[in-house]
Structure formats: C-alpha cells, structure tokens
C-alpha cells in the first residue's frame, strides 16, 4: 500500500512538471527543432516506465537541453527536459543522477524568479518525493 501511494505521488508530480513547465511568458520562442526535441523528451520520459529504455530518455532529453541552450531562449525552456530526465532517473532508482538535475533546474528557477517564487514548490515537491522513495527503498 505504501508503494502505491508513492507511485501516485510521483505520477501526479510528473503531471505537474509538464503542466507547469511552460507557464511563464517567454521573450523568445523555441525554434522548431528545439520544440520537437523538447516534446520528444516529454514523450520518452512518460514512456520510460513502460519501455524501460532509460538510455533513449537520456539521449533525447540531453539533446533537447543542448539545442535549447544553444538557441538562446529563456532558461525556463531548459527546465522541462531537465526535470523529465531527473524524474526518469528517480523512477529507475538512480537518485544520484537525478539530484544534480533537480538542483540545476531549481537554481535556474531561483535565478529567473527569485528564492521565494511559487515556481520552486514544484521542484521542491519532486525532491521531497525522491527522498521518500529513497527512504522506502532502504527499509
């Protein structure tokens, strides 16, 4: 039963990441290639639980991060693929790989919106969920 609750929390968190990923006003939009990579990263992260192909998620999400960073758009666009990859690592139990990505995304949000921003709560919730999963795994 406790694993069921954790899974529900994680699924809801993933939904929140995707729902809130593009809620800010951007000065510049993504180019079509970056947009396509970002969308593919979203899809592959969701499918990672089904297909168990974490290598593909890593490849697609890191390509998206790289393309978005090179495009010169708002850093907010980079956060979504970072969070998707971090979440996929969390679901695979690779917490040491997930944590730096969550921290990087969190630092970007602090830089963009300030340390008291409501936008940080989304990332903080995911970090808390990961900590709960780590604790349950070690029990």
Domain carrying residue 115: 2-138
Q: What is the pLDDT of residues 93-138, one digit of tens each?
A: 899 999 999 999 999 999 988 988 888 888 899 899 999 998 888 7
Query: Taking residues 58-86, what's their average pLDDT?
Result: 86
Q: What total of structural domains would you count in the chain? A: 1
Distance CA 112, CA 26 (A): 11
C-alpha dist (Å) from residue 79 to 72, 109, 138: 14, 8, 29
Q: What is the pLDDT of residues 8-58, one digit of tens each?
A: 445 545 544 444 444 443 446 777 877 887 888 877 777 766 777 888 888
Does this model's pTM top 0.85? My answer is: no
Q: Where are the alpha helices (DSSP H) in the chain?
A: 2-20, 32-51, 54-71, 76-91, 95-113, 119-138
The reported pLDDT for the residue numbered 10 is 52
Q: What is the pLDDT of residues 45-56, one digit of tens each?
A: 777 667 778 888
* Spatial CA neighbour of 128 closest among 19, 49, 12, 1: 12
């Amino acid at each position: 039963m406790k694993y069921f609750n954790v899974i529900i929390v994680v699924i809801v968190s993933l939904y929140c990441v995707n729902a809130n990923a593009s809620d800010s006003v951007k000065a510049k939009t993504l180019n079509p290639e970056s947009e396509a990579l970002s969308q593919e990263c979203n899809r592959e992260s969701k499918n990672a639980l089904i297909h168990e192909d974490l290598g593909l998620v890593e490849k697609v999400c890191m390509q998206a991060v790289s393309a978005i960073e090179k495009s010169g758009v708002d850093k907010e666009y980079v956060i979504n693929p970072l969070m998707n990859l971090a979440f996929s690592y969390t679901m695979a139990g690779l917490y040491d790989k997930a944590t730096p990505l969550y921290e990087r995304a969190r630092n970007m949000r602090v830089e963009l919106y300030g340390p008291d921003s409501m936008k940080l709560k989304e990332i903080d919730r995911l970090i808390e969920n990961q900590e709960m999963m780590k604790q349950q795994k070690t029990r």
